[in-house]
Amino acid sequence: MQAKFKTIFQSLTVRNYRLFATGQLIKMIGVWMMFIAQDWLVLELTDNSASALGIVTALQFTPVLLLSLFSGRLADRYDKRILLLIANIFWTVLAIGMSVLVVTDLVQLWHVFGFAVLLGVANAVETPVRQSFVSEMVGTSLLPNALSLNSATFNTARIVGPALAGVAIALFGLGPVFVVSAVSSIAPLLNLARMRPAELYRAEQVAGAEKDAAKIMDGLRYVWRRGDLLLPMALMLVVGMTLFNFQITLAALAKTVFNTGAASFGLFTTSLATGSLIGALASGSRRGRPSAWIVLGSAVACSSFAILAGLAPAYWLVVALLLPTGFFMIYFAQAANQRVQLGVDAAFRGRVMSLWVLVFVGTNPVGAPVVGWVAEHFGAGSAIWGGGLVSLLTAAAALAWQLHRTGSRLRLRLVPRPRFYVVPSGG
């Protein structure tokens, strides 16, 4: 057990990564507190409009859609640590400005819209750079573990942040939550400044003229020619757009279906995040590149549990079902991410990861308004199970394509315990 524990957290033995992870944890707790407060603020300003939540989410991710590929090119050409410092400074300034508007009670809906767009710009620059920077901090051997710990950090924040936000909103109102979020965003700035550049793993990086010649189209062609990269990205494109909109659907579910307050919305998000954290830790001991079958199987499981959660008639049942939904959601996302990162050449990592970010979160401007509209007109539960159904059908189609392409067969074994397994071609 002790050896297993050490394996899960082995990337934290690297000083630069330890600084990075702790800074991100503090910031992300504040970010999730801000997200909960922002959603509640929008509902208050719009008389409980789920469509308005969808618009805010779309505005927040539109810059990711437009700028991620450009950011990936920057990551392949310039110092990623410096780029992260710049993006995080911009984020901190924005968070301070928004907290002032809320505390002084001057905030209006258009302020929230503008704030969402500008945060999206910071996120569009920061996320692909951050994703590709991980390998420089830990090297290839620890990369799967570091990626899992990144997800664990994110989901720990998603557990703690909403829970704190729900209580803080009930006790103190929205203003203090935005202030705490602004203060927490300073942590990654301090830790990035404390890193030791000489200890970064940059030996694999291309230099000079090759860096300067890095083009976005070269990265797109690279992925198009790689079926092993294209499959997880295409699957994430659909699942991310139709199912990974819980920020909208859970807020609407709590307030309009079960008629609960901010604390109960936080419990929904915390339940989902708890499952996600367990899923992230479960994939943390993985040392090699996950197979396509792990990616596909976890996508099927995630979609299936989401359908059940959307159809659940009772509050407590939704809370219970969000646990396995969160587990398989992150297990799938991590397996897909690791399959992409561990299969890409270092020279293309920034551009490939920018494309990953684009399909993972950049599709929100397309999916979020649609999901918000469905939630408002047909109910939040319908938006959840409908997204799960589309994702399940897509995962099943991708599984069929992979079986056909490899000549493999899917079998069901009943003993010693029921499970599906893949028989390779000729097996």
Of 73-77, 185-189, 203-207, 401-405, which one has max mean pLDDT? 185-189
Instruction: Specify the pLDDT at position 364.
Output: 65
Instruction: Specify the pLDDT at position 221.
Output: 84
Whether the Cβ atoms of residue 59 and residue 187 lie closer than 8 Å to each other: no
Average pLDDT over residues 140-167: 80
The more confidently predicted of residues 32 and 190 is: 190
pLDDT above 70 coverage of the chain, percent? 87
pLDDT class of 261 with cuts at 50, 70, 90: low
pLDDT class of 299 with cuts at 50, 70, 90: very high
What are the extents of the domains in the chain? 2-406
* pLDDT tens column, 365-382: 677 778 888 888 888 888
Smallest CA-to-CA distance from 162 within 31, 298, 17 is with 31
What is the phi/psi pair of residue 114, to 5°?
-65, -40
For the chain, the residue count is 427
Annotate 360-412 with DSSP letters as a single string. Answer: HTTTHHHHHHHHHHHHHHH-HHHHHHHHHHHHHHHHHHHHHHHHHHHT-EEEE
Which two three-digit tokens encode residue 96?
């301070």
Instruction: Specify the pLDDT at position 129.
Output: 87
Q: Quick check: 400 pLDDT over 90?
A: no
Q: Which of 171-175, 301-305, 365-369 is least confident?
A: 365-369
Instruction: Specify the pLDDT at position 418.
Output: 55
Q: Quick check: 413 pLDDT over 70?
A: no
Instruction: Specify the pLDDT at position 425.
Output: 60
Q: Quick check: 209 pLDDT over 50?
A: no
Instruction: Specify the pLDDT at position 219.
Output: 74
**Cα–Cα distance for residue pair 37/173, rounded to 1 Å:** 9
Average pLDDT over residues 274-278: 85
Annotate 34-89 with DSSP letters as a single string. Answer: HHHHHHHHHHHHTTS-HHHHHHHHHHHHHHHHHHHHHHHHHHHHS-HHHHHHHHHH
Whether the Cβ atoms of residue 372 and residue 250 lie closer than 8 Å to each other: no
The more confidently predicted of residues 106 and 364 is: 106
Identity of residue 231: L
Top-level CATH class of 2-406?
mainly alpha
Average pLDDT over residues 179-186: 93
Whether the Cβ atoms of residue 335 and residue 290 lie closer than 8 Å to each other: yes
Instruction: Specify the pLDDT at position 82.
Output: 92
pLDDT class of 426 with cuts at 50, 70, 90: low
Q: Quick check: 412 pLDDT over 70?
A: no
Chain centroid to CA 241: how far?
12
**Cα–Cα distance for residue pair 50/204, rounded to 1 Å:** 47
**Cα–Cα distance for residue pair 59/115, rounded to 1 Å:** 9
